[in-house]
Amino acid sequence: MSKFDLSTLNPPQRAAAEHTEGPLLVLAGAGSGKTRVITFRIGHLLLDRKVRADNILAVTFTNKAAGEMKERVRDLVGRAKCKGMVISTFHSLGVKILRRDIERLGYKKNFGIYTTSDQLGLIRQAMREVNADGKKHDAEGILWRISGWKNALIPPERALPRYEDPDELLACDVYPIYQRLLKACNAIDFDDIIMLTVGLLQGHPEVLEHWQERFRYIMVDEYQDTNASQYLFISLLAKKYRNLCVVGDDDQSIYGWRGADVGNILDFEKDYPGCRVVKLEQNYRSTGTILEAANHVIRNNVKRKEKRLWTDSGEGRPIDLVTAQDDEEEASLVVERIQMERYQHNLAFSDFAILYRTNSQSRAFEEQLRFEDIPYVLVGGMQFYERKEVKDALSYLRVIDNPLDEQALLRIVNFPRRGIGDGTVLRINQWSLEQSCHLMEAFGRVGEIEGINEPTREKVLAFHRLITGATEDFRRPGDLAGRVKRLFDRLGIEEELYRTIEEPATARKKVENVEQVINSMAGYEERIPGATLSGFLEKVSLMDEDRFSGKDKKEHGRDAVTLMSLHSSKGLEFPFVFLVGFEEEILPHKKSMEEGGTIDEERRLCYVGITRARRHLTVTRCLHRKKYGKLLERQPSRFLEEIPERLLQFHEGGAKKAATEEEQEAMAQDFFARMRAKLG
């Protein structure tokens, strides 16, 4: 028996589901039931409008979302009614179209899709064809540049250097050769899928006609996340019948850094004159207080579609604003509150989520949760001490603490790059085995080893002097964090990361993670009298050991606190949310603003974080935060001023109980007075 019943929808949801002819823009606020609208709209097309299933196309961004949508439609109307309907990602749809007609582009139908490792092999082959030095030019960097051109639909013959840079110029030379090699292998890469599909549709009207006739009713989910190539792809398919329904929320457009263009949804009415607009504003997720805070924040963005979330589920508790002295206390207070809420309300650990702007912020919370023996899962990233740049940095400290740690020594011998090649290291290692001495000693005796030229010997000796000097330095007590900071500065780790990683945002995150190693050391010194380098490394090692134990596997199941970045949290919801680091230069993020980002996207990111909370939201800020182990004063986020004072309950430091009404009023007045003065 069909579960399809339009009367179960609220009026705007039903209006969107029943509008089938002509363009439709559904502005679906957070928690407003957009997936329900899409599935019921498909049900209406199938059951009431008698549209053939194979004339319906729904597109979303992930295989998981597509799979869930398929199941919901099948559950709604029955599996038999769905035969022939296509619900897929953009790339899966592109592959479907290419499989039918890619021969028109000179490929065979059984083309392969290359993985990153396959691509890099071809890039290196192309570099050899133009006599490029593989040691001076990074194949991954060349591939990254070519990927950027493909996502902008720029073919090899139109690719021009954007600036005078050796790698950029080389990428222009390599791109056509790489594409030729791909085609010779009857292969395409992931970026080719949309680019070739658009080229096929534009260059072959009969192919475009076929797919336009096939897909007469098109729906696109998360339209605010589409980029230029996806926009053009869908525009071509929908041009004939114009039965295009796009669903999204411009207020949740947070992926501009990876090419998403919020203008696609903002300009939809211009692109499709006469389109109908339906706003879904009733929220079924959060309390009235949470929604009011979110509304007040997001309304400060000028370029947006006006909408206001509301709920009939009640006002709920005030938002807790917790002010900590520093990031270590911030983590301690958050974990303390999780324990308190859990026992007071008989909650599971999985009812709690800690959301942060940058992955490097997870370190203090991971450590505190482990210290309190609370299970947690880290979503959208590795655990802090598993990250490559963190392991590289810690390997220096391991060698300084224990020169016999040859695994750590081999990891750092040419990081940052110092011109000691693999062949040299292999020769030294072989010599150390012959002489029955450990590898560090062999580095110091490199002058005795035959087959190594003088310039390389000097580089090896310089590295040996660096390590032995640092070892002596760390034997003195106190100021461990300061010594680590000076060591990393001397090594030039930050400069190396920015030099070798092409994407600035990725390099910045890795630099922040290395900075957190120093902050972790500083926090360890504060907690442990007479702290030693050996003790710190032991603590880190035990954290890794826990991760591989059976106990750890059990704890990292469903009943665990969730830690994730704000970007990773989109589309999710939790009963209790801690939105941490509510400070200038974190949220909004300093680098995002400096590197051409806008305050609008940072505000949308804040809005997404607030609307993840169902029952209660806690935001935290620090008066001071460690940077390279030193405490620096922090300013409250400008977004705090946008939340009405009456929605907030103030908590200072480690106080477990809310302040009295008089104390609340005094704290609120003082807080907002100071914040307005600082922000001007």
Cα gap 458→480, rounded to integer Å: 29
Cα gap 225→249, rounded to integer Å: 9
Q: Active-site residue among 39, 252, 282, 383?
A: 252
**Number of residues assigned to the chain:** 680
Query: Comparing C-alpha atoms, which of 30, 504, 9 is closest to residue 224?
Result: 30
- State yes or no: 238 annotated in a binding site: no
- State yes or no: 31 annotated in a binding site: yes
Q: What is the DSSP letter of 251?
A: G
Question: Is residue 620 a contact partner of residue 579, using CB atoms and an 8 Å limit?
Answer: yes
What burial letters (b/e) apply to 200-234, b meaning 16+ CB within 10 Å? bbeeeeebbeebbebbbbbbbbbbbbbbbbbbbbb
Cα gap 119→98, rounded to integer Å: 20
Q: Active-site residue among 221, 367, 494, 525?
A: 221
Q: For residue 649, indicate whether it is catalytic.
A: no
Q: For residue 34, indicate whether it is catalytic.
A: yes
Q: For residue 150, indicate whether it is catalytic.
A: no
Q: For residue 35, indicate whether it is catalytic.
A: yes
Beta strands at 376-379 and 613-622: parallel, antiparallel or unpaired: unpaired
Residue 302 sits at φ, ψ, to 5 deg, of -80, -45
- State yes or no: 32 annotated in a binding site: yes
Cα gap 41→14, rounded to integer Å: 8
- State yes or no: 520 annotated in a binding site: no
Segment (H or E) for 680: none
DSSP output for 421-485: -HHHHHHHHHHHHHHT--HHHHHHTGGG-TT--HHHHHHHHHHHHHHHHHHHHHTS-S-HHHHHH
Residue with tokens 């469903």: 558
Q: For residue 612, indicate whether it is catalytic.
A: yes
Q: Which residues pair with 586 in a beta bridge?
A: 589
Q: Active-site residue among 101, 189, 192, 222?
A: 222
Cα gap 23→598, rounded to integer Å: 30
Encoded tokens for 82: 């769905």
CA–CA distances in Å: residue 213 to residues 198, 236, 241, 315:
17, 12, 9, 49
Q: For residue 279, indicate whether it is catalytic.
A: no
Cα gap 485→488, rounded to integer Å: 5
- State yes or no: 478 annotated in a binding site: no
Question: Is residue 674 a contact partner of residue 634, using CB atoms and an 8 Å limit?
Answer: no
- State yes or no: 60 annotated in a binding site: no
Question: Is residue 246 a contact partner of residue 220, using CB atoms and an 8 Å limit?
Answer: yes
Q: Active-site residue among 13, 14, 34, 250?
A: 34
DSSP output for 385-434: GGSHHHHHHHHHHHHHH-TT-HHHHHHHTTSS--S--HHHHHHHHHHHHH
| CA atoms lying within 13 Å on the CB side of residue 466 | 23
User: Which sequence positions are flagged as catalytic?
Assistant: 34-35, 221-222, 252, 612
Which segments are annotated as binding site for ATP?
28-35
